[in-house]
Chains A and B, each alone.
Chain A
Amino acid sequence: MHPILKVHQACKSFQQGNHKVKVLEGLDLEVNKGEKVAILGPSGCGKSTLLSLLAGLDSPGSGTVEIDGTDLSKINEDQLSQTRSQKLGIVFQQYHLMRNLTAVENVGLPLEIVGTSDFAERARTALKEVGLDHRATHFPSEMSGGECQRVAIARALVTRPSLILADEPSGNLDQKTGDEVMDILFNLCREHTISLVLVTHNRELADRCDRSLLLKEGALEDLAR
C-alpha cells in the first residue's frame, strides 16, 4: 500500500535581497491512510512553506511531493487543481470562508467546483456533521469564530478527501472552543479514515496525533513521546 502523502528530499529557498534563504532542505515525510501527523516548530521555521508545498499551491525547488501516488510536479495546473479538489482538504487558521456565501454555500463550494450535482444536499449533511445545520443560511459575518472554523472543517471534509491539511485550526479560538473544534476534526478524520497533517504550536494537540514531527533547520525530526 502506498502512502497518502510522500515528500522526498524537498528543498525550498527564497531570494531575500542579495542572499538566498534556505527554508526547506532535503525534507522527507510520509503519511499513511488514516494516519494523523502533527508538525511542530517555532515561528518562521518554514511550516507555512511546507503546507503550501503539500497543498500544491507552491512547488519545491527540488525534490518531489506525491499525493495518493500522484507526483504534483509532473502534472499541469488543471490536473493539480483536480487533485486538490478531490484528494485534499485544507483548514486554515483564519478560516478563509467566502464572506459573500452562506454557511451551506461555503461548504458546498468544493463540490460545485468539481461539478457535483447534489452539492447542496451533501453540504447540508456535512454541516450537520459539524453540528451547524441550524446555521446553514447564515453568512460568516453572522457566526462566531468557532462556528466559522466548523464550517471550514465541513468544507474541507465534504469531498471526502484522502488528506486534510490543517494549519493551526484552533489558533484563533479560545481554549474551550478550540478543543471542541479539534474534537470534531479528529473524530471526523477517524470516522472517514482520512489522513491528517496538523501544523500546531500546541504540544497537547500534537500528542493527540499518531506522530509528532519537529520542523527544524529545514528538515523534520521525530519527537519522542
Chain B
Amino acid sequence: MSFILRQAWREMRNSRSFCFFYSLNLALGLIGFVVVDAFRESIESKVRNESKELLGADLAIRARRVITEEEIKQARNTLPVETREAKAVDFFSMAAGPTGRSRLVKVVAIDPGFPFHGTFKLEKGGEKSGNEIKLFHEDRLAWIYPEARAQLGIKMGEKLQLGEAKFRIADLIEEETGLTFQPTDLAPKVFISRKFLDHTNLLGEGSLAYHTHLFQLPQGIDTDTFGRGLEKALNSPEVRTYTHRQAGHRAGRLLRYLSDFLSLVSLVALFLACLGSGFLFHGFLTHRMPELATLVSLGATRRTALRIFLLQLFLLGIFAALPATLACSLLLPGLGGMISEMTGSKVEVWVSSRSILLTFAVAMGSGWLLALPALSKVRRLRPAELFQEAVRPGSKPSRMNLLLALPGLLAFWGLCLAQAHSDKLANVFFGCFLGSLILLYILARFGFGLGEKLFGKSRLSIRLAARSLARNRAGALTGFLAIGLGVLLITLIPQTHHGLGKEIGLDDPTGDLPSLFLFDLQEEQLNAVQSLLEKEGTPLANITPWIRGKIKTLKGMAYEKSQRQEEELNNPDEQRRNAFRNRSFNLSYREKLLGK
C-alpha cells in the first residue's frame, strides 16, 4: 500500500466523527439527487420501451375532424401492403349513470384489433390484447375506469347513458394502453366499440372529436421512414402523423419537464449539502495544518500532502455515494406506486447504472471542487512556523482564495445545464441562485461588521456573539449562506403556490373571474343551451365567441412547421418553439373576460 493511501486511511480512521458527518451530509444531498435522477431515467426508459404500447400502434394519423377516405387512401399508398389498420374516435362527453347522476367522461370508441400493441387489463376479464376482445364489439358494452364508476354511482352490469344510447358496464379497467398523446386526461375514459358510436348520436356536424387511424406495420419495418413518407403524402396541417416514438415523447413530455425542474431543486439541496461538507472539511484541514507542516518538515512535499487530502475526499465521496445509492436502490422500487399515483402514469422507478455512476462522480468531484479554497492552504503552508513557539503553523493569507470557489460554481452551472435539459431554464435558475448567493454574501459580510459595531456596548453575551460572527468570517458566512439558501428553497414552493393562486384568482373568490367554463359550444347549439340553463335558474353570464386559428404566414413569409421531428429536439426550448409553430390558437374579439 502506498504511503499516500496508508496515511489517508490512518487519518480517516482517527477522525471518525469528521468522516461520519462529512459523508452523512453529502449522502443526504446525494439521496435527493439520485431519487430525481432515477425518476427521470425511469420515465425516459418507460417512454423508450413502451412507446408502441403508448400509441397502441406503429404509426397513426390523427385529426380533429373525420379523416376522409381520400386521405386514408393516400396513407395506404405509402405503407406496405400487409399493414393492419384500425380506427378510433375519442371525445369528451357527459355520461349518466342509473341514478341520473352525470359526469364528464372521455369516450373512446375503438375498432376490433385495437390496440395492436399493448393490452387492456380488466378487473374481471384479466389481460386482453386487441385480438382477444372480439365479444366486446358484438354488443353495446362499455369498459370504464373505477373513477367513473364512483363518480356516476354505477355498478357492473348496469347501464351507462351516452347520448341516446345505453351501454352495459361489462368490466372495469385497471390499466390500458394506446392513444396516449398526453400524460394526463381531464376525465376518466369509457371504452365502447366504434360499431355502436352512431347509436349515441353524440357526434354531429362541428362536434369536437379526435379521429385516429392506426397502422400496424409488418415486422422489421422502419417506422420512422414510413412515418416521414406518410406525413409527406398527406401534407395537411389538419391531419398529424405520429410514429410510436413521437407519441411516447409527447406523453412523457410533462413528466420530463417536472423531473427537470425537480432535478434543479435537488441540485440546490445537493449544493447545500456540499457547502456543509466543504465547511466541515475546511475546519478539519485548518485543524490539521500543524501536522501538515510537520509532514513537510519530515521530508514530504506539499504535493504529497495535497494528494493525501485529495485521496481522503475521494474515499469520503465513495462513503457518501455508497449508502445514498444503496438506500435509493432498496427504497425506490417500493416508492414506484406512490410516484405512479402522483404522476398518473405507471412508472417503475429504479436506480440505473448511469445514475449510480453520475452519483459517484458528483460525490467525488464535488468534494474536490468545494475543497479547493481549503486545499489551496496546503500550497501556501508555512512549515517554518513550526519553530515559532507561540505560533500555530498555518498558511499565508490570500485574497485570491475566493476565486477558487469559481470552479465549484462553474461545475454546478454545468450540472444545472445537464439536469434541466434546457439552457434557458438552467441559466435562469443558476442566475437566480447565484444572485441569491451574492446577495446573501454581501448582506452577511456587511451585516456582521455592522452588528459588531451596533452591539459593541450591549450585554456581554450579545457583544461576544456579534464579535465572534464578525471575526470568524469563514464559519459565519458559510453558515449564513447555507441557512439563507435553505430558507429560500423552503419558501420557494409556498411562494410559487401563492403566486399562481393570485394569478388565477384563487385568493379572490368574489372577484370577476368566472368559476365555471362551458366550452366548445357551436353557434347553432347556443340558443338551446341558453334557454335550458335559464330554465334551470343558472343563466349563462359570459358568452365569448372563439375562433380557432393557426399562423400560416408571418410578415408575408410562410410560417412552416419545423422539418425536424419533435423527438429529435432534445432541448425543451427547441421543443417549445417547435410546438408553438404547430399550435392552434383560440381567438376572440373580446379584450377581456366580462363580469360575472
Contact = CB atoms under 8 A, between A and B. Distances in A.
Interface of A: 47-49, 51-52, 55, 57-58, 77-78, 81-82, 84-86, 88, 90, 92-94, 96-101, 105, 109-110, 112-115, 155, 167
Given A100-B11, A113-B3, A57 B299 contact: no
Given A101-B10, A105-B10, A110 B387 contact: no
Interface residues on B, range: 20 to 34
29 contacts: A48-B384, A48-B389, A55-B297, A55-B384, A55-B387, A57-B383, A58-B384, A77-B301, A81-B296, A84-B297, A86-B299, A90-B298, A90-B386, A92-B387, A96-B290, A96-B297, A96-B386, A98-B291, A100-B291, A101-B10, A105-B10, A109-B295, A109-B298, A110-B298, A113-B3, A113-B298, A113-B300, A113-B304, A155-B298
A99 B291 contact: yes
Contacts of A96: 290-291, 293-294, 297, 386
Contacts of B301: 77-78, 81
A109 to B, nearest CB: 6
Contact of A93 (B15, B299, B389): B389
Nearest to A80: B301
Interface of B: 3, 6-7, 10-11, 13-15, 290-291, 293-302, 304, 383-384, 386-389
Nearest to B383: A57
Contact of B3 (A57, A92, A94, A115): A115
A92 B298 contact: no
A96 to B, nearest CB: 4
A99 B295 CA distance: 12
Contacts of B294: 96-98
- 6 closest A-B pairs by beta carbon, nearest first, are A85-B299, A52-B384, A100-B14, A48-B387, A57-B384, A58-B384
Contacts of B298: 84-85, 90, 109-110, 113, 155
B11 to A, nearest CB: 6
A109 B15 CA distance: 18
B11 A114 contact: no
A93 B385 CA distance: 12
Contacts, number: 81
Contacts of B304: 113
Contacts of A84: 297-299
Contacts of A57: 296-297, 383-384, 386-387
Nearest to B300: A113
B427 to A, nearest CB: 42
Contacts of A86: 299
B7 to A, nearest CB: 8
A14 B304 CA distance: 29
A51 B304 CA distance: 23
Given A55-B384, A57-B383, A90-B386, 8 more contacts: A55-B387, A78-B301, A88-B299, A92-B386, A96-B291, A100-B14, A113-B299, A113-B304
Nearest to A78: B301
Contacts of B293: 96
A81 B300 contact: yes
Contacts of A58: 384
A105 B10 CA distance: 10
B296 A51 contact: no
Binding site secondary structure of chain B = helix
Contacts of B384: 48-49, 52, 55, 57-58
B267 to A, nearest CB: 35
A78 B15 CA distance: 29
Contacts of B291: 96, 98-100
B15 A100 contact: yes
B444 to A, nearest CB: 30
A72 B185 CA distance: 79
A167 B293 CA distance: 16
A96 B297 CA distance: 10
A71 to B, nearest CB: 18
Given A52-B384, A100-B10, A105-B10, A114 B389 contact: no
Nearest to B12: A100
A58 B296 CA distance: 12
Contacts of B13: 100
B15 A90 contact: no
Nearest to B388: A48
Contact of A81 (B10, B290, B299, B386): B299
B51 to A, nearest CB: 57
A88 B383 CA distance: 15
A55 B13 CA distance: 31
Nearest to A76: B301
A82 B7 CA distance: 18
Contacts of B388: 48
Nearest to A112: B3
A109 B11 CA distance: 13
A93 to B, nearest CB: 6
Contacts of A101: 10, 14
Nearest to A115: B3
A97 B302 CA distance: 18
A47 B383 CA distance: 15
Nearest to B304: A113
Nearest to A119: B3
Contacts of B383: 52, 57
Contacts of A92: 386-387
A78 B384 CA distance: 17
Nearest to B297: A90
A110 B293 CA distance: 13
A99 B292 CA distance: 12
Residue of A49, A57, A105 ringed by the most chain B CB atoms within 10 A = A57
Contacts of A93: 389
Nearest to A83: B299
A92 B388 CA distance: 10
Nearest to A54: B387
A57 B290 CA distance: 14
Contact of B299 (A52, A94, A105, A110): A110
A215 to B, nearest CB: 13
Nearest to B14: A100
Nearest to A99: B291
